[in-house]
Chains A and B, each alone.
Chain A
Amino acid sequence: SQTIHQWPATLVQPVGSPLSLECTVEGTSNPNLYWYRQAAGRGLQLLFYSVGIGQISSEVPQNLSASRPQDRQFILSSKKLLLSDSGFYLCAWSVYKNTGELFFGEGSRLTVL
């Protein structure tokens, strides 16, 4: 069966510090991978998605970046965090060419102080 894990689950970082959130998927090959952000009391905002290694599409211009060094690994990064980067970050995967049914990770709660 397929599983998705992301970590860390909780992160408190000062403004200006770097960020690295990691997500891995097991039990499937060539998945579509996604990073979403959910601000308090709001819906999900798609940040990045990837259809293959090294292929990243950015939906929202910001100081975040994403990388996909391996087929089932997706990393969200920032060189310098802003207060506005606080939120709940969710990694997700879907079957290749099926962008509808998403399988989400447990989420990472980021607080920037």
Chain B
Amino acid sequence: AQKITQTQPGMFVQEKEAVTLDCTYDTSDQSYGLFWYKQPSSGEMIFLIYQGSYDEQNATEGRYSLNFQKARKSANLVISASQLGDSAMYFCAMNSGYSTLTFGKGTMLLVSP
């Protein structure tokens, strides 16, 4: 069985600073994928970034990067130069093979001016 743990219910960051949202996972599969989604107050879920378990490089997408530490089973999301529009709920998720995604409980990020 797969499990995703996000230990930070809420995080605060000032505009233009970087922030790290934690995610640890548990799986017995060797091949798996890790994902981050953003949910603004409107409710829609937006895909941000993906990391494959065999990818040697950390994934990056613009201001988002995934700090993948396989031995520690962690897949933290780093947002650089935070913007007010980054205030949202962030979910870490994983899957393996053709299994459906397992989501964590999320971290609420608030960016202050």
Q: Which of A34, A97, A106 contacts B100 (CB 8 A)?
A: A34
**List of B residues within 8 angstroms of A109 by Cβ:** 43
Point out which of B46, B100, B106 has the most chain A C-beta atoms below 10 A from its C-beta: B100
Minimum CB distance partner of B44 in chain A: A106
Is A31 located at the chain interface by the 8 A CB criterion? no
Minimum CB distance partner of A104 in chain B: B45
Q: A34-B100, A44-B91, A49-B100 are in contact. Are A101 and B45 (CB under 8 A)?
A: no
Taken residue by residue from 35 to 48, chain B's Cβ proximity to chain A (1 for < 8 Å, 0 otherwise) reads as 10100001111110
Q: Which of B33, B43, B99, B103 contacts A43 (CB 8 A)?
A: B103
Is A25 located at the chain interface by the 8 A CB criterion? no
Do the beta carbons of A102 and B47 come within 8 Å of each other? yes
Do the beta carbons of A101 and B43 come within 8 Å of each other? no
Which bracket fits the contact residues of A? 20 to 34
Taken residue by residue from 92 to 108, chain B's Cβ proximity to chain A (1 for < 8 Å, 0 otherwise) reads as 00010011110111100
Within 8 A of A (CB), among B68-91: 91
**List of B residues within 8 angstroms of A101 by Cβ:** 35, 47, 50
Within 8 A of B (CB), among A32-58: 34, 42-44, 46, 49
Q: Give residues in B with beta carbon < 8 Å to A.
A: 33, 35, 37, 42-47, 50, 91, 95, 98-101, 103-106
Q: Give residues in A with beta carbon < 8 Å to B.
A: 34, 42-44, 46, 49, 59, 88, 90, 92, 97, 99-107, 109
